[in-house]
Structure 1
Amino acid sequence: MNEEFGDYVDFEGHGQLELAQIALDRGEDETALDLAEEYLEKHPHNIEALNLCAVAATNLQDYPKALALYRTASTYDPKNGAIHHNFGVLLEKIGRLEEALQHLDLSLQLQPDFPEAYINRGNILDELGQTEDALAMYDEALRRMPDAAEAYYNKGYALNRLGRYEAALESFELAMEANPEDPACLNGLGYALSGLDRNEEAIRYYDQAIAKSDDAASYYYNRGVGHIRLHELDKGLADLDKTLQLDPDFGEALLEKATLLFDNDREQEAFAALDDADKVAPESPEPPFYRAILYERQGELEKALACLEESLSRDPDSLYTLNNKGNVLMDLGQLDEALACFDAILQHDVRYPLAHYNRACVFARQGKEQETLKELDIVASQDVRLMEDARKDPDFEWLHNNPSFQKLTKPKKA
């Protein structure tokens, strides 16, 4: 949550500003703005009035006015930590994240024990992909306010994004001590349980979240994924349909629905869902990538290859797409072109065991014994689990009597 904190500034205890503050607290933003602006006509340099006007203007989504007011207030009183905090929150809201960080940093320099500033700074760092740094900010907030439910809540979501589900579960449980009915916490807790493969428990929490907030598309999506993992496909599809009813532009739901439909032999509907996903996000590499997977399952390798090329044109750095392209080229018998794909992957990341494995497959199909064994030796050192696949892979069948192959693929004792 990113509310401005109008009550952190020392307001005069009576009169027009007090009435404006009361109106703001009641959610009567237009009244608050009118009263505070009237006061500013007589007292144009009053910081409290400028802040109150800016908070009300922000709530009314008049962002240009709010920006101008905060800019003026920070010019008149550059050492006012609350002004810098609220300015930073507004800048975050309109997507100017780097500027927002600068003002929150100033706020913390001036008021180092202001927990809300740490929380909001953490939120911005998380948006910028600096999730570990965000976690440190939430911990700083909790050090100053150990019962800050918002910090536990945001920390839980950050931990979910990092795949640290046990820790996320703990954070959401602590957040819910303050508000056990909060639907966003219930959803986050469900997501953590799902990440721990406790899908039946997760669905019970999603049910509770939906019961309290039945218009949140992401809650239905998460529950739908849970049902799919439990092989409750009709329930999963119903939730995905509800997700898309609430938010027709929910790209992940369209992709999940396409895969589910294809797995249930509803191929035309699956491709239609991917067409919809392409319309929602025409620059996204995901729809053509998923379309390629569906074509590959149908044995339409040339069409699959064309879709992978399209996906790579949208995201040239996607190593997993490049790997899939190499696999399709192998199946088409274009071994040199396939090898070039795997070589390109290893130029980006030498520790990509699938690329080494697939190089081994290419060399095996070319009858190059030493090159094959060399690649498999690298695979064994990077991901020994792939050697189980190698034992069963028909590409290596001709090597089954080779002592080096036998040594590489011999099951390791526990």
Structure 2
Amino acid sequence: MSENQDNMSPQELADFLLNKVRLLCRENQHEQALEVVEQAIKHAPNPTQACLIKGQILFGLHLFDDAIEAADKALELGDDAEVLKLKGNVLATKGDLKEAMETFNKLEEIAPDDADTYFLKGSIFAEMENVEKALENLDLATEIKPDMGHAWYNKGMILFNVERYGAAIKALDSAIDHMEDATEPIFIKGLAHRRLGQSKDALECFLTAAEMWEVRALVSRSQDAYLDALNAIENALEVDVTNVDLWRKRGKLLYRLGHKEEAKSILTNAAELCVQEDNIADALATYDLILELEPDNEEAQKAREEIGNIA
């Protein structure tokens, strides 16, 4: 221990060590972080915070029983809202819904004005398929914290699953207003509009979600994001199957996902259909896309030149 650390009070030393733990976690050095957090627990006059951080690290590492043990050690010193949230979430992740609910009931006793209390209870009731109790608790969460986007989203999902599509759309609109990444609620909103036969609104949602997922895929190179974008476009095609632009988007996404032959076949067929229908502008745009994806595609180049001469 350094001379500066020798001069620290026990609380100052514990705070210093916890700051080091946070830095190690940001650098994904979790094993070393666990070693340091043990030192913080040893030195802290009240180790509740250190035990909480230890439990959070263990939870992130999927060491659920160890995370619960850390939470229980903190709770021996007295009930703490954040520790109860951690323990309940670990139990819920393990599938122990009954114990998770008991933990969140205790949380409600000490934190009745905390929106998280009712969000967490609502989530457990949803897992238990108790729709009315789930909605009741999510309503309480959003009454306390109207900008709690993920509570609105969960409410929208529950309403969608019980086929209350109009109410689901209203909840999802609130989720979209208050979530930093609203791609998923926009997509689900599209599904709800489609179930109600509101094709124009559904199409707008699917296109917006697809564009957002594609941007994420381009930035992160995530195959999952490309798959989500493709799913949104395929849902859009169910609404408007003759939309050539949608077929172009589908072909492009398939190509990005590595399904190159299927993509080229879709795009070529779309271009040829456009020619048959005297839709020369869309035919040219489709061959332009093929050439954007494959600049050396001689067949596409030749077809485009022939269509260009016709035009």
Shorter-chain TM-score tier: 0.5 to 0.7
* SS of structure 2 residue aligned to 1:214: coil
Does residue 1:292 correspond to 2:187, yes or no?
A: yes
Q: Structure 2 CA distance, aligned partners of 1:226 and 1:129?
A: 33
Residue 243 of structure 1 is matched in structure 2 by: 141
Q: Structure 1 CA distance, aligned partners of 2:260 and 2:99?
A: 43
Map residues 246-285 of structure 1 onto 2, 5 A cutoff. 246-281=144-179, 284-285=180-181
TM-score (norm 1): 0.50
CA contact (8 A) 1:292 1:303 kept: no
Q: Percent identity?
A: 20
- What's the CA shift string for 1:254-313, capped at 9, x where partnerless? 1111111111222122212222223224xx232x43221342363656334313135337
Q: Structure 2 CA distance, aligned partners of 1:82 and 1:218?
A: 40
Residue 303 of structure 1 is matched in structure 2 by: 204
2:55 to 129, 153, 156: 156
Q: Structure 2 CA distance, aligned partners of 1:169 and 1:361?
A: 51
- What's the CA shift string for 1:14-69, capped at 9, x where partnerless? xxxxxxxxxxxxxxxxxxxxxxxxxxxxxxxxxxxxxxxxxxxxxxxxxxxxxxxx
Alpha-carbon deviation of 1:236?
0.8
Cα 1:145–1:340 change in 2 (3 A) is same
CA contact (8 A) 1:326 1:338 kept: yes
- What's the CA shift string for 1:102-131, capped at 9, x where partnerless? xxxxx9xxxxxx2331123324555x5747
CA contact (8 A) 1:308 1:321 kept: no
CA contact (8 A) 2:176 2:185 kept: no
Say which structure, 1 or 2, has more relative contact order (CA 8 Å, 6+ apart): 2
- Count of matched residue pairs: 244
Cα 1:83–1:190 change in 2 (3 A) is same
Alpha-carbon deviation of 1:362?
5.5
* SS of structure 1 residue aligned to 2:76: helix
Cα 1:314–1:220 change in 2 (3 A) is farther
Long gaps (5+) in structure 2 = 267-311
Q: Structure 2 CA distance, aligned partners of 1:264 and 1:205?
A: 27
Does residue 1:195 correspond to 2:93, yes or no?
A: yes
The range that moved more, 316-325 or 182-191, is 316-325
Aligned-residue Cα RMSD (Å) equals 3.6
TM-score (norm 2): 0.65
Residue 325 of structure 1 is matched in structure 2 by: 229
Cα 1:245–1:134 change in 2 (3 A) is farther
Does residue 1:166 correspond to 2:65, yes or no?
A: yes
Q: Structure 2 CA distance, aligned partners of 1:259 and 1:270?
A: 7
Residue 283 of structure 2 is matched in structure 1 by: none
